[in-house]
Chains A and B, each alone.
Chain A
Amino acid sequence: KQEVTQIPAALSVPEGENLVLNCSFTDSAIYNLQWFRQDPGKGLTSLLLIQSSQREQTSGRLNASLDKSSGRSTLYIAASQPGDSATYLCAVSTLYNNNDMRFGAGTRLTVKP
């Protein structure tokens, strides 16, 4: 059974810092991996989706990488802003059923002005 782990559970950084969020998964047979953002009390917003054949995806100040062989993904946020404060969740879809998405518990990010 696929297990997804995100470390750290919480992270606090000063504004302007570059930061990396980590995600690891136990089964490398994945269909895709997504990073989501969740603001308090709200639903999830997809940030980046990486297909299993891809190594990275970029959107603005965000860059997500995927290393299937080691079971790892990172989300890099450049020049962090207070508006980036949220919980970031990583999710992987299994190769056998791409509707079966497994989520990590998330990293709660606080960017201090």
Chain B
Amino acid sequence: DVKVTQSSRYLVKRTGEKVFLECVQDMDHENMFWYRQDPGLGLRLIYFSYDVKMKEKGDIPEGYSVSREKKERFSLILESASTNQTSMYLCASSYSGGTTDEETQYFGPGTRLLVL
């Protein structure tokens, strides 16, 4: 079974702090994604990466950066946390091409971040 893990389930941070959210997948997937989920808005893509050291902006990259130094790990960085970044953050990974099952995105359990 594919496993996507996220470093924390809950985080509480202060405004202005630098925040690191870590995501690790164990299926050698090329693609990894960071989303945020807010009530009534669904999931919105922040960044995705299709290979080591490669990244592309999603819909809402402002205030965030990412790092992918190893294939299995994708980090989301909040350079200076703000209260409007309080949200549920979800990481996902997927394989490029192949069968229907292989194109599915597999999600981690999420990190609920509260910025005070």
Contact = CB atoms under 8 A, between A and B. Distances in A.
Contacts of A4: 42
A71 B108 CA distance: 29
B20 to A, nearest CB: 19
Chain A, interface size category, equals 20 to 34
Interface of A: 4, 32, 34, 36, 41-46, 49, 51, 89, 91, 98-101, 103-106
A41 B112 contact: yes
27 contacts: A4-B42, A32-B100, A34-B105, A36-B107, A42-B109, A43-B4, A43-B90, A43-B107, A43-B108, A43-B109, A44-B92, A44-B105, A44-B107, A46-B104, A46-B105, A49-B104, A91-B43, A98-B103, A99-B50, A99-B94, A100-B45, A100-B58, A101-B33, A101-B45, A103-B43, A105-B41, A105-B42
Contacts, number: 53
A99 B50 CA distance: 9
Given A43-B90, A98-B103, 10 more contacts: A32-B103, A42-B110, A43-B109, A46-B104, A46-B106, A49-B103, A89-B42, A89-B43, A101-B45, A105-B41
Contacts of A91: 43
A45 B110 CA distance: 12
Contacts of A32: 100, 103
Nearest to B39: A105
A43 B105 contact: no
